[in-house]
């Protein structure tokens, strides 16, 4: 198999790249999600997310959540 730039990818460990344990998917946990619906639209059609760090949750600390709004 040939990858980007003609480099051989066979036998390469981690191809495609394997995320490290410190990637965002491991660091954050979804606490609450609200999807758009008739009468409440976030953007055209979007979703609201509240997240917390796994290390904060392990301590029972919900004092520093993050909010993300995703819309189309």
Instruction: Read off the pLDDT of each residue in 57-64 and give the average, rounded to a whole number.
Output: 94
Residue 50: pLDDT band by 50, 70, 90 thresholds? Answer: very high
Number of structural domains, the chain?
1
Rg over CA atoms, the chain: 19
Give the global pTM: 0.59
Q: What is the largest CA-CA distance in the chain?
A: 53
Beta strands in the chain (DSSP E): 28-35, 46-53, 66-71
Domain assignment present for residue 54? The answer is yes
* Residue ranges making up the domain that contains 42: 21-71
CA distance 44 to 33: 17
Domain assignment present for residue 3? The answer is no
Domain assignment present for residue 51? The answer is yes
Domain assignment present for residue 8? The answer is no
In contact, 17 and 40? CB cutoff 8 Å = no
């Amino acid at each position: 198999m040939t990858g980007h730039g003609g480099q051989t990818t066979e036998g390469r460990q981690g191809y495609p790249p394997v995320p490290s344990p410190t990637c965002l998917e491991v660091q954050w946990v979804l606490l609450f999600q609200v999807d758009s619906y008739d009468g409440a639209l976030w953007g055209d059609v979007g979703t609201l997310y509240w997240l917390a760090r796994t290390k904060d949750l392990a301590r029972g600390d919900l004092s520093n959540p993050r909010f993300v709004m995703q819309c189309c």
